[in-house]
Amino acid sequence: MKRAREKTSHVLRELKRLFPNVKPSLEYNNSWQMLVAVILSARNTDKKVNEVTIDLFKKYKTINDFKNADLKDLEKDLSTLGLFRQKAKFIKQTAKIIDEKYNGNIPKTMEELISLPGVGRKTANIILGRLYGVVEGIAVDTHVTRLARLFRLTKNKDPYKIEQDLMKILPKKEWFDFTNLMIAYGRKYCPARCKHNSCPLKNYI
């Protein structure tokens, strides 16, 4: 465990050096739009989501607009995204729950968030951290999964188990930014099927 913590500390230091001002890339104007964007980002790139939401948020301006949207119309508006039919259904259902159960406010606890359609731990961790500054875990997306295994910070493939492994070797104050740093590194230097010839962190593989 001590060696794993030391290695993680070195990786984290290098990531911060490479990306001193890392920021999330999803675009939104309020908390509801952020939740929609994060739900849509599963199985899709942030760039693609931003291309869709720029028009989506002009058409559907409020939670009620999404709640009352015709499902077929919403599916059409999301049709360039992966799993668009499922996501359209999730967003309508979630809009209804948030409007009627939470008076239009995004829930503030992990338990409440993961009870919403289309919201798992990854999405909940992002929402809690960005909206409320609450850090309960580490958001594990495909970049974090791939790179954590590549750097041998975990042997697991299941996102929940990977999250638990990372939480043991990372200081809690680093949990939220770690995800953004890993995503930035994966996009810029080490995408899927990378040969690692010029990866800045290839010595940690």
What is the Cα gyration radius of the chain?
A: 18
Residues 91, 73: Cα–Cα separation, whole Å? 13
Tokens representing residue 134 in the block: 């609450």
pLDDT at 1 over 80: no
Render pLDDT for 182-198 as a digit per residue (tens, 0 to 9): 999 999 999 888 888 88
In a 13 Å sphere around the CA of 204, the CA atoms on its Cβ side amount to: 23
- The mean pLDDT value of the chain amounts to 94
Domain residue spans in the chain?
A: 2-23+138-204, 31-132
Q: Sign of torsion, CA 106 110 115 118?
A: positive
pTM of the model: 0.89
Q: How many CB atoms lie within 10 A of CB 153?
A: 23
Render pLDDT for 61-77 as a digit per residue (tens, 0 to 9): 999 999 999 999 999 99
Once rounded to an integer, what is the mean pLDDT over residues 166-195? Answer: 93
State the CATH class of domain 31-132: mainly alpha
Q: How many CB atoms lie within 10 A of CB 92?
A: 20
pLDDT at 157 over 90: yes
Pick the CATH number of 2-23+138-204 from 1.10.1670.10, 3.40.50.300, 3.20.20.450, 3.30.230.70: 1.10.1670.10
Spatial contact of 127 and 38, defined as CB atoms under 8 Å apart: yes
Spatial contact of 167 and 61, defined as CB atoms under 8 Å apart: no
pLDDT at 89 over 80: yes
